Structure 1
């Protein structure tokens, strides 16, 4: 077939044949329903904001914003040209259009990704319910039917072998079957992880850190993967020293040692580190990830769907990462809505590694949905029901933070 014949045939095809999978599926339902309200609540033991988008068809979608309730409501409902003014009356299935409105068409300042991420999730939830499809199918998946999760925990005293051994016993006994453990290590240096005025650490500190991770590896054995968890608090020479100290313990990666936004120090760290380097939990939007990818400054990225621009933003980030062959994991310390949105997203991209979770952390994550959270040998099944998830409204109502109004504005 020559070029002229090809173009003649292509132009004769129905328009839907040239659309993305989602646009093709959504085409018959476009312009049938409208957004009527954006509402939110905050739960006890949670700082993120649960989001509800309502429509005139009686179909609602749910999501989770990384912003606090006060910040979320300020951007969405108040001020000069709030986000709700751009969305009320719009078709919730026009997700790309609404993403553009939320991410760029904001007076004076670009909207915070942590604010509209939850709205974007809710729009995908609505789309799945309207089209009777799980969201991972709307996104082109599934690449996999199960998603691997990892667990955050560490011994009470990483420098004490008995403490490490006792802790390892609890990990082995956990019915969820965790096989990848992420641990903070600030205790080894004697400071709280929230501190940010930390001086450069030196050789004696790194000797202690090496001992601590050797103790953990000895207690767990090689059947478990270990992640070393920084909190963006270190400088470059300290981060390099940490990476070299933990390398003998065969860690999976060193996470977030430097401040989160791009600088050439990330590239320098990756070049000097004997262990893989990860960043991304507090990086917003595709443009925030682009310099890390272009400069080969990390080995792995881990966006947070409640922070990076929702599912739409995260898909754009994954597409960028695929150009550089950099794999994607997911940060997630949220509730049930964020967990299930993350699971659906993880099923839809090719080079996905592993998902963080807050199950059994006292936040009620595993209790917020109508369906039980089942984790077997570290894996959770990808849901097949339409949308993202089904929230347990009775649980939510009974566990609102004091002073909250039930699905108030």
Structure 2
């Protein structure tokens, strides 16, 4: 009689249906021996109620609190699917399926083409999604600045979600653990047609919604009705008499022309007008809440310095994207000339893209968008690298709750984090696109709640709500994508 059979006999388990299969199946015998060893050492109490219970039921009951989500080492990617939502005009959700029925959720950055992600499918089919870093290194060559990175980053998000589900741990745990249980958010200041109405909106943002950090747009477009506020602006206006910064395919239009090449200048009158806008907000906001500014428009470094000096009295938390992110020397000049912290980074791809700014201390705060910077792990690396140089990290985010939660996990795991942007605060159905898998609220009074136990990103899809907000150009809902299965190139980038 085997040791296992003797143990079962002592427990009164003499049913041949229990004992005989163990004699015939060495694998099952080993698993039973392992179970009883772990039961004894681990303190599983086999009380009298278990004495005549089939061993399978004993295992099921005594390990009922231990969740099993699959065999991670045997996972394989079987499909990449998508659904295009109307969030911020057009934002695609991704779903990576596996052979074990679990899937991971990701997102292609707002305004980017879902095909950035779909073309990667042929490179990752059949791979184990838990080998996140290896897969990322294989596909990162297909990313680029800004929305060109949307596919690589969306896939990376979904891989961490899958890996967390497979191992039954939150994504932040896979990044090394967390520094915080909730993540501070910053929100746009609402605009209105009158100071009285804006005051009401500001009170709602701060007192009712609970936000403790705000950001306002402060673009030269605000001066279009001010005669003498700008020099050379009429030349760049579109047919609607606007300085159109987004949404044009004209390569030579204002929005596609780099800042030093517009020769737009801000007059003293214009500077006073922009300062008055900040003064109005500061008057309503006070100085207990940080206030950041963004979207100034396309003008050169000299005008950026003049504007920055005009605004120093308001102690702004930062000035964002005053010049293009890759003008490292100009950022260094701005940081030297101005007391207000300088910030950029939402369009930078990978740590290698951030290093020139960080190494030269050209900015005070980095501002990656996880859906462009390389995903969760690469963004944490970016934050950690900046921390070594005494540079803080805020995070840009404009998307669905999927990328929002990817950012939350990364922010929780990064020490030098300041605040995360929430761009869809006033979209009533935004939060209901997903449901949390641990029952928590997504956001409470201006802070995102970090999932402390929920595996992966800690969310699942709310199918009914998503289907109500699919983009008119593509109403498909996570349909199979066999047309993207074939790999047709040799991708190695060295000889």
TM-score (normalizing by structure 1):
0.84
Q: 2:77 aligns with which of 19, 35, 59?
A: 35
| Deviation of the 1:391 alpha carbon | 2.1
The 3 A distance-change label for structure 1 pair 395 and 95 is same
Query: CA separation in 2, counterparts of 1:363 and 1:176?
Result: 13
* CA-based RMSD: 2.5
| Structure 2 match to 1:6 | none
| Deviation of the 1:401 alpha carbon | 1.4
1:171 aligns with 2:171: no
Indicate the structure (1 or 2) with the bigger Cα radius of gyration.
2
User: Is the partner of 2:73 in helix, strand or coil?
Assistant: coil
1:181 aligns with 2:177: no
| Deviation of the 1:113 alpha carbon | 2.0
Q: 1:376 aligns with which of 438, 444, 460?
A: 444
| Deviation of the 1:395 alpha carbon | 1.8
Query: CA separation in 1, counterparts of 2:398 and 2:117?
Result: 23
| Structure 2 match to 1:85 | 122
Query: CA separation in 2, counterparts of 1:98 and 1:307?
Result: 17
| Deviation of the 1:156 alpha carbon | 3.0
Q: Deviations over 1:217-254 (max 9, x none)?
A: 11211222211112663320121122111111121111
Q: Is the 8 A contact 1:87 1:98 kept in 2?
A: yes
Query: CA separation in 2, counterparts of 1:261 and 1:218?
Result: 35
The 3 A distance-change label for structure 1 pair 318 and 246 is same
Query: CA separation in 1, counterparts of 2:339 and 2:295?
Result: 16
| Structure 1 match to 2:105 | 62
Q: Deviations over 1:17-55 (max 9, x none)?
A: xxxxxxxxxxx9553110011111111244222111110
Structure 1 unaligned segments of length 5 or more: list them.
1-27
User: Is the partner of 1:390 in helix, strand or coil?
Assistant: strand
User: Is the partner of 1:325 in helix, strand or coil?
Assistant: coil
| Structure 2 match to 1:396 | 466
| Deviation of the 1:132 alpha carbon | 0.5
Structure 2 unaligned segments of length 5 or more: list them.
1-69, 225-241, 246-253, 256-261, 482-495
Q: Is the 8 A contact 2:318 2:341 kept in 1?
A: yes
| Structure 2 match to 1:334 | 399
| Structure 1 match to 2:373 | 308
The 3 A distance-change label for structure 1 pair 232 and 337 is farther
Query: CA separation in 2, counterparts of 1:358 and 1:141?
Result: 26
Query: CA separation in 1, counterparts of 2:409 and 2:297?
Result: 28
The 3 A distance-change label for structure 1 pair 209 and 312 is same
| Structure 2 match to 1:24 | none
Q: 1:95 aligns with which of 129, 132, 142?
A: 132
Q: 1:322 aligns with which of 361, 380, 387?
A: 387
The 3 A distance-change label for structure 1 pair 254 and 363 is farther
Aligned runs of 1:53-202 on 2, under 5 Å? 53-66=96-109, 68=111, 71-73=113-115, 75-77=116-118, 82-104=119-141, 112-156=148-192, 162=196, 165-173=199-207, 175-186=208-219, 187-190=221-224, 192=243, 194=245, 195-196=254-255, 197=262, 199-202=264-267
User: Is the partner of 1:345 in helix, strand or coil?
Assistant: helix
Q: 1:386 aligns with which of 433, 455, 459?
A: 455
| Deviation of the 1:306 alpha carbon | 1.0
Aligned length: 370
Q: Is the 8 A contact 2:117 2:155 kept in 1?
A: no
The 3 A distance-change label for structure 1 pair 359 and 238 is same
| Deviation of the 1:198 alpha carbon | 6.7
Q: Deviations over 1:238-291 (max 9, x none)?
A: 211221111111211111111232331111111111200110111111111111
Q: 1:50 aligns with which of 70, 93, 98?
A: 93
Query: CA separation in 2, counterparts of 1:68 and 1:404?
Result: 17
Q: Is the 8 A contact 1:99 1:312 kept in 2?
A: no
Query: CA separation in 2, counterparts of 1:146 and 1:245?
Result: 35
Q: Is the 8 A contact 1:113 1:285 kept in 2?
A: no
Q: Deviations over 1:278-323 (max 9, x none)?
A: 1011111111111110111110011111111111221221232122
The 3 A distance-change label for structure 1 pair 345 and 231 is farther
Query: CA separation in 2, counterparts of 1:374 and 1:101?
Result: 33
Q: Is the 8 A contact 1:154 1:182 kept in 2?
A: no
Please identify, of 375-384 and 296-305, the stretch whose mean Cα deviation from structure 2 is larger: 375-384
Q: 1:245 aligns with which of 310, 318, 329?
A: 310
Query: CA separation in 2, counterparts of 1:262 and 1:363?
Result: 38
Q: Is the 8 A contact 1:358 1:365 kept in 2?
A: no
